[in-house]
Chains A and B, each alone.
Chain A
């Protein structure tokens, strides 16, 4: 079964991860624009990061047979620096025009400040202008209140809920998200936040409609194989095969295809690892894998 991880920060992951993901059947990923673990201090840092998402990182993923898409946006963790945030928003229109940019994101609240609220709303406007769907990060602190505020803003701004993916849901926020008509993402972690067993329980309770799973793997303790592991947990629990496939492939495809930029998603991708500079490459003495 082909798998899709629609929320994973590959900039922070090694090629060991790419290799394991490829072997586990992950064929497509979405890497949302986010922070790098500590606040950036120049608009240019964002610009170079955005360029790497559609440049080196996209190529790096392709070496392992994985189709790399991304979102572009001003994330909530860095939105409180207004001088910087204004500069980043000025960059976004040109980056939202790039191929493979499948949503505006990750946007939303972190602490729920006025500044975060301002840039959240402005970026929903940018998404409407660029005709792109939206990927929303819900806060990890005071999550239920943050999600309620988030859903209220979505409604106020007039964006179709079907074009909104509210991520990092829990037992308490999932029913709210589903009721709003938005898609519901779940980030499965090794120790904190949501895990496989609880995800299985949610699927058994709410079904598969508009349900999406991801690893949100990044710089911290996280696991880029959580999508295949959650798939295995669902299968072990007897979740219907069609529903598993819907959650792990069809749903993220349907959501992000609304961007019109998910080209080639269904075609199998040939890997040619000879496309590397062996003096300085992603291979270290391994036999290059070439798919004819």
Chain B
């Protein structure tokens, strides 16, 4: 069982029977033309969770990396709608040759509303050939919509694992600007560099010059990676 079908099972076990049946049909016969409509419409169908707790079952069959990523993503706490969308994206990508996968994922992001975009970003690390999605993740960091930004920056192993230094540093700085909790950035200490600390110090200096307070997170960032 793949990570996508695992997420699909978790989605269905917390949903009304009609929603579970609908998802099952979409996952077992994924067609390109049906993807956009299914991805958009998934949230309404899964809007009313019956109860949380159906995610206790089955992740042991997945690889260590996949299990760790689902843990970092907090996937067991995802809404049924988010689980369903992620499962749909994984199922559709899996049936495509690598050269078409990028187009599907990019299209799902660009043509998505805010919550569809969040679903795409939270799924990036779980996709095959994830390094292909570096430009997309970088583009996503430019969003003004905070929930979309946090979908890539927080509780997401993708940036620390794949983003080059310049993009990663800009994302961290924006997290501090926007008061996204620094503790939710995955793998930050492993990507700490003198340059990132310099940027944090410069921002702290700017705030001090403006007579503005320096948050605990910004203070912590000026020391990140130092023992």
The chain A residues found within 8 Å of chain B, CB to CB, are 47, 51, 54-56, 58-59, 93-94, 97-100, 260-261, 263, 274-281
B97 within 8 A of A: no
CB closest chain-B residue, reference A99:
B43
Report how many A-B pairs have Cβ atoms within 8 Å.
Answer: 58
- Interface residues of B toward A: which range? 20 to 34
B28 within 8 A of A: no
B31 within 8 A of A: no
Q: Taking the nearest CB of chain A, how far is it from the CB of B75, in angstroms?
A: 21
B113 within 8 A of A: yes
Are B145 and A55 within 8 A (Cβ)?
A: yes
Contacts of B36 in A (CB 8 A): 94, 97
Q: Taking the nearest CB of chain A, how far is it from the CB of B216, in angstroms?
A: 15
Bound complex: CA A261 to CA B44 (Å) = 8
B111 within 8 A of A: yes
Are B41 and A277 within 8 A (Cβ)?
A: no
Contacts of A280 in B (CB 8 A): 144
Are A59 and B145 within 8 A (Cβ)?
A: yes
Bound complex: CA A276 to CA B149 (Å) = 10
11 pairs across A/B with beta carbons < 8 Å?
A47-B111, A51-B110, A54-B113, A54-B114, A58-B114, A59-B146, A94-B111, A97-B41, A263-B44, A277-B146, A278-B179
Bound complex: CA A98 to CA B36 (Å) = 10
Could you tell me which residues of chain B, from 132 to 183, have a CB within 8 Å of some CB in chain A?
A: 144-147, 149, 174, 177-179
Q: Taking the nearest CB of chain A, how far is it from the CB of B110, in angstroms?
A: 8
Q: Taking the nearest CB of chain B, how far is it from the CB of A74, in angstroms?
A: 18
* Given contacts A59-B145, A99-B113, A260 and B44 within 8 Å (CB-CB): yes
B96 within 8 A of A: no
B104 within 8 A of A: no
Q: Taking the nearest CB of chain B, how far is it from the CB of A102, in angstroms?
A: 12
Task: Pick from A47, A93, A275, A277: contact of B147, CB below 8 A.
Answer: A275
Q: Taking the nearest CB of chain A, how far is it from the CB of B211, in angstroms?
A: 11
B40 within 8 A of A: yes
Find the residue from B36, B40, B147, B174 having the highest chain A CB count within 10 A.
B40
* Given contacts A58-B113, A277-B174, A277-B178, A99 and B44 within 8 Å (CB-CB): yes
Task: Pick from B110, B117, B149, B177: contact of A279, CB below 8 A.
Answer: B177
Could you tell me which residues of chain B, from 160 to 212, have a CB within 8 Å of some CB in chain A?
A: 174, 177-179
Could you tell me which residues of chain B, from 103 to 147, have a CB within 8 Å of some CB in chain A?
A: 110-111, 113-115, 117, 144-147
Q: Taking the nearest CB of chain B, how far is it from the CB of A285, in angstroms?
A: 10
Are A99 and B115 within 8 A (Cβ)?
A: yes
Are B147 and A59 within 8 A (Cβ)?
A: yes
Bound complex: CA A57 to CA B43 (Å) = 20
B17 within 8 A of A: no
* Given contacts A55-B114, A56-B145, A97 and B178 within 8 Å (CB-CB): no
Q: Taking the nearest CB of chain B, how far is it from the CB of A131, in angstroms?
A: 12
Q: Taking the nearest CB of chain B, how far is it from the CB of A108, in angstroms?
A: 26
Contacts of B113 in A (CB 8 A): 51, 54-55, 58, 98-100
B47 within 8 A of A: yes
Q: Taking the nearest CB of chain A, how far is it from the CB of B141, in angstroms?
A: 11
* Given contacts A97-B37, A98-B40, A98-B113, A278 and B177 within 8 Å (CB-CB): yes
Bound complex: CA A55 to CA B43 (Å) = 16
Bound complex: CA A56 to CA B110 (Å) = 13
* Given contacts A54-B114, A260-B44, A275 and B146 within 8 Å (CB-CB): yes
Contacts of B43 in A (CB 8 A): 99
Could you tell me which residues of chain B, from 1 to 60, have a CB within 8 Å of some CB in chain A?
A: 36-37, 40-41, 43-44, 47
Contacts of A281 in B (CB 8 A): 144
Contacts of B117 in A (CB 8 A): 55
CB closest chain-A residue, reference B44:
A99
Contacts of B110 in A (CB 8 A): 51
Q: Taking the nearest CB of chain A, how far is it from the CB of B184, in angstroms?
A: 14
* Given contacts A97-B40, A98-B40, A277 and B144 within 8 Å (CB-CB): yes
Contacts of A263 in B (CB 8 A): 44, 47
Q: Taking the nearest CB of chain B, how far is it from the CB of A289, in angstroms?
A: 14
